């Protein structure tokens, strides 16, 4: 009965046309706010998904690193036990070290990452090659796959250059750093390919063969900077981390992809919530129209309130009717807004209506991904704001009942 009264009050023609107009303005304002929230949250989801896909091209599902120091040791027996852990698709030993690269006259500082033949099973860097090939070479000639910006900084053309890059790294057994020849080890690598992920990686990383770095850094065959592990499809990274940590025991730092980039993901999540709070104020402003509309409706329906009182209606019933009226306005606005948001997101996904400025190797339009959780959040927000906005007019209607009772 409450919803029947509320629905009739909303759809019926009012004696003052301004009430109808204000009510539909309220619906429109809530629809715009809800649609904006859906679109903005979906854009954040799109960028978050894009960044995660980029980072998954370089960072493994799980990484085993030293708790202290720069290297860990894992013998063949330990590696075999890791390979037998349920959910492990592949693993690769890696060595990372800062180095000075010289190609021509200008030296450049970069990070060398030595990888073995399993690296492409753990990371998707091979799919990010924009020039040349992913080829780290062998003992006859070690290769180098450079980041796009680093390639430009060195002035290398991987497609045509036959000149090697000279690499200098600190000598592990050096006792004095006054004489460069005694403090540094050097070697050469041949540029074979160029990858493009994002500037953080493109400007400083060179991928080469792990044997090359082991030789330069004078490291043993079971020594490495980290062990990178790829998870099988459908396997939780947190679960895989627990299993690997249980196999290795203490003395190793085991991290998921999220933990390897925790600050980045935390910033992205914070930005999304800040934008949600700011845009929610649009709905709060829209609620002021709804308050005015309901106040005018309460004034117009004083005769109805008198009749309901004569029929034995209680104060709580009158209050619930006008609360329901406000929820109908908020519900219609929220539903229309979600619908508009879905339509816009689908059009953006299909046609890329809003383009990104400048040139990009990745996407040329704003990415959008819709999650059902965002729709639940937006509708819940509208429900809370609609209830709060309806409370004061509904209370006013209840007080009208008390005034009638006093007379």
**What Rg, from alpha-carbon coordinates, does the chain have?**
32
pLDDT at 404: 45
pLDDT at 181: 63
297 has a pLDDT exceeding 80: no
pLDDT at 17: 65
pLDDT at 239: 97
Between CA 142 and CA 259 the distance in angstroms is 32
CB atoms within 10 A of CB 183: 14
Three-state DSSP state, 215: helix
pLDDT tens per residue, range 116-139:
999 999 999 998 999 999 999 998
pLDDT tens per residue, range 261-282:
888 888 888 988 998 998 898 8
Query: Mean pLDDT across the chain, nearest whole number?
Result: 87
CB atoms within 10 A of CB 334: 28
Q: Which two tokens stand for residue 307?
A: 């009749």
390 has a pLDDT exceeding 90: no
pLDDT at 300: 74
pLDDT tens per residue, range 51-63:
888 888 899 999 9
DSSP characters over 119-146: HHHH--GGGGEEEE----EETTEEEEEE
Q: What is the average per-residue pLDDT within 339-344?
A: 96
400 has a pLDDT exceeding 60: no
Q: What is the average per-residue pLDDT within 108-122?
A: 95
How sure is the predictor about 180, in pLDDT bands with cuts at 50, 70 and 90? low
397 has a pLDDT exceeding 60: yes
11 has a pLDDT exceeding 80: no
Q: 353: buried, middle or exposed (CB in 10 Å: 19+, 13-18, 0-12)?
A: exposed
């Amino acid at each position: 009965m409450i919803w029947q009264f509320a629905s009739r009050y909303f759809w019926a023609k009012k004696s003052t046309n301004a009430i109808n107009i204000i009510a539909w303005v309220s619906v429109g304002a809530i629809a715009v706010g809800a649609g904006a929230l859906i679109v903005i949250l979906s854009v954040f989801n799109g960028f978050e998904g894009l960044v995660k896909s980029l980072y998954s091209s370089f960072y493994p599902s799980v990484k085993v690193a030293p708790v202290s120091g720069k290297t860990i040791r894992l013998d063949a027996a330990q590696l075999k036990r890791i390979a037998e852990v349920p959910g492990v698709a592949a693993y690769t030993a890696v060595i990372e070290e800062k180095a000075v690269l010289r190609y021509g006259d200008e030296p450049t500082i970069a990070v060398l990452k030595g990888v073995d033949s399993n690296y492409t099973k753990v990371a998707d860097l091979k799919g990010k090659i924009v020039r040349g090939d992913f080829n780290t070479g062998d003992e006859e000639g070690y290769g180098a796959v450079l980041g796009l910006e680093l390639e430009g900084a060195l002035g290398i053309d991987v497609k045509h250059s036959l000149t090697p890059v000279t690499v200098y790294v600190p000598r592990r057994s050096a006792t004095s750093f006054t004489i460069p020849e005694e403090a540094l080890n050097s070697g050469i690598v041949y540029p074979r390919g160029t990858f493009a992920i994002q500037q953080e990686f493109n400007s400083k990383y060179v991928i080469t063969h792990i044997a090359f770095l082991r030789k330069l850094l004078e490291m043993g065959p079971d020594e490495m900077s980290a062990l990178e592990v790829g998870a099988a499809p459908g396997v939780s990274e947190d679960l895989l981390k627990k299993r690997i940590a249980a196999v290795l025991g203490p003395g190793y730092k085991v991290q998921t992809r999220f933990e390897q980039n925790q600050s980045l993901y935390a910033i992205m999540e914070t930005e999304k919530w800040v934008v949600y709070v700011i845009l929610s104020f649009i709905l709060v402003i829209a609620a002021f129209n709804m308050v005015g509309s309901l106040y005018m409706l309460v004034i117009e329906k004083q005769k109805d309130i008198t009749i309901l009182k004569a029929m034995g209606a209680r104060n709580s019933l009158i209050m619930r009717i006008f609360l329901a009226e406000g929820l109908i306005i908020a519900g219609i606005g929220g539903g229309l807004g979600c619908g508009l948001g879905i339509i816009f997101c689908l059009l953006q996904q299909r046609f890329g209506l809003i383009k990104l400025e400048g040139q990009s190797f990745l996407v040329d339009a704003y990415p959008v991904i819709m999650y059902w959780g965002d729709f639940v959040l937006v509708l819940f927000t509208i429900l809370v704001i609609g209830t709060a906005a309806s409370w004061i007019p509904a209370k006013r209607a209840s007080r009208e009942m008390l005034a009638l009772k006093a007379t």
